[in-house]
Structure 1
Amino acid sequence: MGRKNSYLDEIDKFIGNRIYSLRLAKGLSRQQLSKVIGVTHQQLQKYENGTNRVAASRLMLIAKALEQEIPYFYQGFTVGNNSLPETKNQRLCIEVARNFRRIGNREHQDAINTLVKSLLKARVA
């Protein structure tokens, strides 16, 4: 067994979080994505949690399945990144964004955006 390396652990968790967030944004279940990339849903969960390291070849499959380029999974990584864990608020934001994209009517999207902005103004005032 290899030595513990906190820097590598941070990278694994960061990449796992990016996979998790993107999977949710795409509206895929863990079962659906794991089937496409050829692993069990338990293995995918370990990737998403950063428990297991994602091999480069597997990351290629994940990127293809999630319609994303490889650099996406590393963008924003810094040593000592404190925002790694997915919070309930972040998950809600991803869900709202996913549902917003599904609204086909541009006028409805604009109306929702206006509502959100007015709620923010009311909160600040």
Structure 2
Amino acid sequence: MAHEVDVHVGQRIRQRRWLIGMTQQKLAEMVGIKFQQIQKYETGANRVSASRLWDIADALSVDVAFFFEGLKAEGKGPAPSSDLPMDTMADKEAMDLVRSYYAIPEHQRRRLFELARVLSDVA
């Protein structure tokens, strides 16, 4: 059975890779491994070594700490964050929305954000 930290790290790899529109094959090429290994990392089936995580972070343009965000300090389970479902960022529709949001020019994005904030306050 996979350790929950390995599963969390794998989910964060998948989220970031998907958010920037990178395939498993491309990430694997950048890191120097086969795409099947990326699949195993993303499911938590295989544990990512520190040096490999460093390479993945570099390929995905994030700090290594990114992969551990959302874990409790003691490393057990996800940290409570908000009233969002735990798997929101694993949801394809939510990830599509985030990717689309960041594709909008910044000044329009700010206006859309304010509109969403107002609508959520009304709901």
Gaps of 5+ in 2: 81-85
Distance 1:39 1:90, change over 3 A: same
Residues 37-96 of structure 1: per-residue CA shift (max 9 Å, x gap): 11221110100000001111110110001111111111221313399x855873322221
Distance of 2:120 and 2:88 partners within structure 1: 21
Q: TM-score of the superposition, structure 1-length normalised? A: 0.75
TM-superposed deviation, 1:111: 3.9
Give % identity.
31
- Offset at residue 118 of structure 1 (A): 4.8
Match among 23, 44, 47 for residue 50 of structure 1: 44
For residue 120 of structure 1, report the CA deviation from its aligned partner. 2.8
Partner of 1:72: 66
Shift in Å, 1:115: 4.0
Could you say what secondary structure the match of 1:93 adopts? helix
Residue of structure 2 equivalent to 1:103: 104
Q: Report the AA paired with residue 45 of structure 2.
A: T
User: Deviation string for 1:20-46 (max 9, x for gaps)?
Assistant: 111111121112111111122111010
Between the aligned partners of 1:66 and 1:88, the Cα distance in structure 2 is: 17
Map of 1:30-49 to 2, 5 A cutoff?
Answer: 30-49=24-43
Cα distance in structure 1, aligned partners of 2:54 and 2:23: 19
Q: Secondary structure, in 3 states, of the residue corresponding to 1:52?
A: coil
**AA in 2 matched with 1:42:** Q
Aligned partners of 2:19, 2:46: CA distance in 1, in Å?
A: 22
Cα distance in 2, alignment partners of residues 88 and 15 from structure 1? 13
CA RMSD of aligned residues (A): 2.6
Indicate if the aligned counterparts of 2:7 and 2:42 stay in contact, CA closer than 8 A. yes
Q: Partners of 2:12 and 2:89 in 1: how far apart?
A: 15
CA pair 117-89 structure 1, distance change in 2 beyond 3 A = farther
Counterpart position of 1:28: 22
Larger radius of gyration: 1
Alpha-carbon distance change, 115 to 89 in structure 1, aligned in 2, over 3 angstroms: farther
What one-letter code is carried by the residue in structure 2 that aligns with 1:81? P
